[in-house]
Amino acid sequence: MQVYGVELRSRLFLGTVQYPSPAILARAVENAAAEVVTVSLRRESGAARAGQGFWSIIQGLGVRVLPNTAGCHSVKEAVTTAQMARELFGTPWIKLEVIGDHDTLQPDVFQLVEAARILAADGFQVFPYTTEDLIVAERLLDAGCRVLMPWGAPIGSGRGLANPMALRTLRAHYPDVPMVIDAGIGLPSHATQAMELGFDAVLLNTAVAKAGEPVRMARAFRQAVEAGREGYLAGPMGERDMAAPSTPVLGTAFRA
- Show contacts with another protein in window 192-231 (CB under 8 A): 205-206
- Could you say whether residue 247 binds another protein (CB under 8 A)? no
User: Minimum distance from CB of 82 to another protein (Å)?
Assistant: 9
- Could you say whether residue 15 binds another protein (CB under 8 A)? yes
CB burial string 189-198: b at 16+ within 10 A, e below: ebbbbbbbbb
Residue 110 amino acid letter: F
- Show contacts with another protein in window 52-71 (CB under 8 A): 52, 54-55, 58, 67-68, 70
Binding residue for another protein (CB under 8 A) from 5, 7, 21, 45?
Answer: 45
Distance of alpha carbon 140 from alpha carbon 112, whole angstroms: 8
Binding residue for another protein (CB under 8 A) from 43, 102, 240, 255?
Answer: 43
- Could you say whether residue 16 binds another protein (CB under 8 A)? yes
- Closest CB to another protein among residues 72, 139: 72
- Could you say whether residue 115 binds another protein (CB under 8 A)? no
Piece of the chain touching another protein by CB under 8 A; list 26-34, 83-91, 224-232, 240-248: 83-91
Q: HEC profile for 139-208?
A: HHHHCCCCCEEECCCCCCCCCCCCCHHHHHHHHHHCCCCCEEEECCCCCHHHHHHHHHCCCCEEEECHHH
- Closest CB to another protein among residues 51, 100: 51
Cα–chain-centroid distance for residue 135?
20
Nearest of 29, 46, 151, 166 to residue 99 by alpha carbon: 151
CB burial string 111-148: b at 16+ within 10 A, e below: bbbbbbbbbbeeebbbbbbbbbbeebbebbbebbbbbb
Binding residue for another protein (CB under 8 A) from 39, 145, 147, 170?
Answer: 39
18: left (phi over 0), alpha (psi -120 to 50) or beta: left
The DSSP output letter for 238 is P
Q: Compose the 120-159 pattern: x for residues touching another protein by CB under 8 A, - for all others.
A: -----------------------------------x----
Does the annotation mark 95 as catalytic? Answer: yes
Nearest of 178, 183, 197 to residue 152 by alpha carbon: 183
User: Minimum distance from CB of 67 to another protein (Å)?
Assistant: 7
Binding residue for another protein (CB under 8 A) from 89, 124, 151, 199?
Answer: 89
Q: Which residues bind another protein (CB under 8 A)?
A: 15-18, 38-47, 49-52, 54-55, 58, 67-68, 70, 76, 80-81, 83-85, 87-89, 95, 155, 205-206
**What residues are annotated to the active site?**
95
